[in-house]
Structure 1
């Protein structure tokens, strides 16, 4: 096994572990949230849980690729498309819910992206066009299916990313407590960072691009955790009642 593949698998496991810990921590804090914040808390749990699941499956696919079993590798790839495409749903829900304040509106709008997810997976299964290329960094899944690529980029990438960035700008100019603003903005940046590079990882044409994308995804997960659960030292700068013991 080449060193590049080992690095790839190590990063996969690191992302999976940190995302899982983040999800569990969010779950443990769920009952401490007020009623208005619980929908976004659940959506955040779904996002990071699906990131963890995706990279667990991708780790298995990378290991299978070493043996050269493309049939099993394709099966794992198709399974990984489920968490990959469904991540867009809670992302869109968070944006719509924060803007509208209406949970039902968020559910209805985000459900539209369930259709994009279904169409993308269905197109891949029916029309194929997935080729696996093994490099010194691991296995790449390269799609030559133009219809699926169009659905993926236009429906599952451009729209959710644009919504996140629009909400980020809106929050920056909104008059709310600075600490709350920083937490929300950092959370949105972490989601955007992880999601954008997750998409880039999925369409990578080289092993180097794939590994670089995963490094940024890992940074996004860590940033998200720190945004949700900032160190006491940072909290004390905004709240003088918090005492930091050195």
Structure 2
């Protein structure tokens, strides 16, 4: 089987798993105070699903030699990925402060970063696609776009995730709540980090490996809210199913 088909299968699995997780979050009942963080989580994972749906199409297009479709889908996928930190930042700020206005203000700042990144991306030269056995790779010939992506769209949100994890784990909370928070943030961190690896991959196998880890991150996020019985028994968190709740402050 071609490595490109394995690549496409990984992308399809990411999209379907993320959509499934979004659906389960949407169907649950939550406290009103948790709704802003709930919708931020839903938007985050829906953005992942949408982006990798486009990525899946572009990999399949590359497999069949449709480089034009590959290029179009590359640009389409870059749009949701550019705004991925927006919902994440809203979620983090709301969990820490409980203030929707502050959360919205910070989200707008990162929306501006996303717009600036897309402007540099769409106005710069994009080399590719370079289609190999494993992957289809584009190269961005814009230092400005790369700088905005790394500084505004990756480093700061990642630091915020790590800080939130430290803050939450320092609090005295129930074991089930600690499990859900820790695993959710670890899942988000894995997904976020390997999306960066995917974006800058110059080695074709690295692209496939990064997408497998992104899939693992999505699965971990699902397990944070729907742990199997054996895991609940082992960790002593069986009561986690008695009350489904979104992480809040």
Q: TM-score scaled to structure 1, two decimals?
A: 0.92
Instruction: Show structure 2 runs of 5+ residues with no match.
Output: 243-249
Indicate conservation of the 8 Å contact 2:87/2:107, yes or no: yes
Q: RMSD over aligned Cα, in angstroms?
A: 1.8
Higher relative contact order (CA 8 A, sep 6+): 2
Alpha-carbon shift at residue 68 of structure 1 (Å): 3.8
Mark the CA change 1:128 to 1:39 in structure 2 (over 3 Å): closer, same or farther: same
Q: Is 1:52 the counterpart of 2:42 in the alignment? A: no
Q: Is 1:97 the counterpart of 2:94 in the alignment? A: yes
Q: How do 1:65-76 and structure 2 match up within 5 A?
A: 65-76=62-73
Q: How do 1:1-246 and structure 2 match up within 5 A?
A: 3-29=2-28, 32-235=29-232, 237-238=236-237
Alpha-carbon shift at residue 144 of structure 1 (Å): 2.1
CA distance in structure 2 between the aligned counterparts of 1:36 and 1:173, rounded to whole angstroms: 22
Alpha-carbon shift at residue 25 of structure 1 (Å): 0.7
Instruction: Show structure 1 runs of 5+ residues with no match.
Output: none
Alpha-carbon shift at residue 64 of structure 1 (Å): 1.9
Matched residue of 1:131: which SS? strand
Matched residue of 1:230: which SS? coil
Aligned residues: 240
Indicate conservation of the 8 Å contact 1:97/1:103, yes or no: yes
CA distance in structure 1 between the aligned counterparts of 2:221 and 2:48, rounded to whole angstroms: 12
Indicate conservation of the 8 Å contact 2:198/2:210, yes or no: yes
CA distance in structure 2 between the aligned counterparts of 1:242 and 1:44, rounded to whole angstroms: 19
Mark the CA change 1:142 to 1:176 in structure 2 (over 3 Å): closer, same or farther: same
Alpha-carbon shift at residue 111 of structure 1 (Å): 1.0
Q: TM-score scaled to structure 2, two decimals?
A: 0.91
